[in-house]
Structure 1
């Protein structure tokens, strides 16, 4: 696969470690630098100290204590320019319209690697 240059840093937040690891592996193979967080609160805690700051947040929608749209809203308080992707098998258009902060791209689950990478390119191009 083609490598991106320079490498973009992508934070992945998914409470299912196996799913998150597959996403990180796909992103890494495509030339991105990616790090998995299995807890949205840990990601938010670490966000201010990340160097470099992430260029993109890829987050699951359905997680305990905080859904993906809530995470996006909180993350954008720290990094307003942060690009975001929401992954979900349960996200409805009405959920997005009611959110204070919308993702740049929404990807329905299940998805293929090519669909994920196309969404990443689209989000980073905004």
Structure 2
């Protein structure tokens, strides 16, 4: 058994693969192996969307919505916001009443001499 992790023929085959060649951030050409489209997985391997008329029509009729901006979701967010504002105002009013009560309590204690 060989001590090498891969057979030499596999290494030569990987080294012989065409390279991406896209300009990297360092300004050099990318040396990653290219896919059939001529670029590596980091420089253009993803889809750019439908090109044919059939694909464009299918894309327009598909339901690709996530619901975050639906009318239902917007109404729920408004309800939650108004409930939050009401709750915040109630907490502020309660805190103000509590401060007034504590001030009155301190005044009474002072009058009683305690």
Common fold by TM > 0.5: no
TM-score (norm 2): 0.18
Larger radius of gyration: 2
Q: Give the helix-richer structure, 1 or 2.
A: 2
Bigger relative contact order, structure 1 or 2 (CA pairs below 8 A, ≥6 apart): 1
TM-score (norm 1): 0.17
